[in-house]
Amino acid sequence: DQQVKQNSPSLSVQEGRISILNCDYTNSMFDYFLWYKKYPAEGPTFLISISSIKDKNEDGRFTVFLNKSAKHLSLHIVPSQPGDSAVYFCAALKSGSARQLTFGSGTQLTVLP
């Protein structure tokens, strides 16, 4: 039972356009959400996060939106650049004594020059 789902395994976008990556979750106990970025032959690296008390968090070209009622979050990248081509993992966390991240399966973003 996957509690964090990324239903699009891949996405292609033209350079300069907006990239929108989507993520759905099922566990209403999650209270913190993150995006990680992974290049080939490297480990994932933290990109941006959002607390469940917010509905938007922005960091430069990256914005994460959270819709708690729909249990949905999205990552917007604008403008997209070729260097953004990577696998993006959505992750969620629930507070508690053993805090651990639950990851989705990732979306491969390809930004075409």
- Extract the tokens encoding 69: 């009622």
Pick between residue 10 and residue 67 the one whose CB is nearest to other proteins. Answer: 10
64, 89, 109, 111: which one contacts other proteins (CB under 8 A)?
89
Q: Are 21 and 37 in contact (CB under 8 A)?
A: no
Task: Find the shortest distance in angstroms from Cβ 106 to other proteins.
Answer: 5
Q: Does 104 bind other proteins (CB under 8 A)?
A: yes
66, 77, 106, 109: which one contacts other proteins (CB under 8 A)?
106
**80 Ramachandran zone, left/alpha/beta (phi>0; psi -120 to 50):** beta
Cα separation, 18 vs 43, whole angstroms: 25
Cα separation, 87 vs 82, whole angstroms: 13
CA dihedral of residues 19, 49, 22, 86 (deg, nearest 10): 50
Pick between residue 75 and residue 106 the one whose CB is nearest to other proteins. Answer: 106
35-54: contacts with other proteins (CB under 8 A): 36, 41-46, 49
Binding map of other proteins across residues 7-36, x = CB under 8 A, - = no contact: --x----------------------x-x-x
Closest CA to 50 of 18, 69, 80, 72: 72
Contact set with other proteins (CB under 8 A): 2, 9, 32, 34, 36, 41-46, 49, 87, 89, 91, 93, 98-106
